[in-house]
Amino acid sequence: MSLPLIGILRGLSPGEAVDVGEAVLAAGIERIEVPLNSPDPLQSIRRLAEALGDRALIGAGTVLTAAQARDAFAAGARLIVSPNCRPAVIEETRRLGMESWPGVATPSEAFDALDAGASGLKLFPAVQIGIEGMQAMRAVLPPGTMLLAVGGIGTDDFADWRAGGIDGAGLGSALYAPGLTAAEVGERARSLVAAWRAAGGE
């Protein structure tokens, strides 16, 4: 993974999946997830995995059950992102050999997620937890734990979050919204990647 960013394509439809995915990947975002509350998400995941799976990590988001994780895996997903911490989902995700990024908002959830085998943690909603809350959690987590801020952060505060110690970010509405063309999503992706790199002095 060249950048610790996940592109969240909530609302994506199968017909646009490949074009939008190509645009996001071309900007340097190599983890792409389709939330399961999108139109026909498994078909979008299948198309993305077939077209981009050798160049990007394609996955499902808003995964709430182990059965949904299995369905996503069957469609070609190799990344599972959740808004919450459910050890059964994490354990099934890891059993299938996929990356698991559960949502956590408290130290208890964070440790439960890590105990279940999470690849990293999705700090959600980041805008509510805040940088100070993230730092307090970071202080007690095992060294090397990957934390991605998701929910309400973007180009305006990348620098503050990076200075605060966050490892990466999930990019949702700042990256994609239904009705945008692939070219428009690509432009947003390039701007977000440039801002993330600039915030880290890269």
User: Cβ distance 45 to 58 under 8 Å?
Assistant: yes
99 in active site: no
Using CA atoms, how far residue 139 sits from 40, 70, 109, 128, 166, in Å, is 40, 34, 15, 18, 12
16 in active site: no
DSSP state of 142: P
End-to-end CA distance of the chain: 16
* Helical H segments across the chain, by residue range: 14-26, 41-52, 66-75, 87-95, 107-116, 126-140, 158-164, 182-199
Residue 103, Cβ neighbours under 10 Å: how many? Answer: 23
Please state, in angstroms and rounded to a whole number, the distance separating the CA atoms of residues 56 and 49. 8
From the list 16, 22, 30, 33, the catalytic residue is 33
Please state, in angstroms and rounded to a whole number, the distance separating the CA atoms of residues 65 and 6. 21
Q: Phi first, then psi: give them for residue 58, nearest 5 degrees.
A: -100, 140
| Active site members | 33, 122
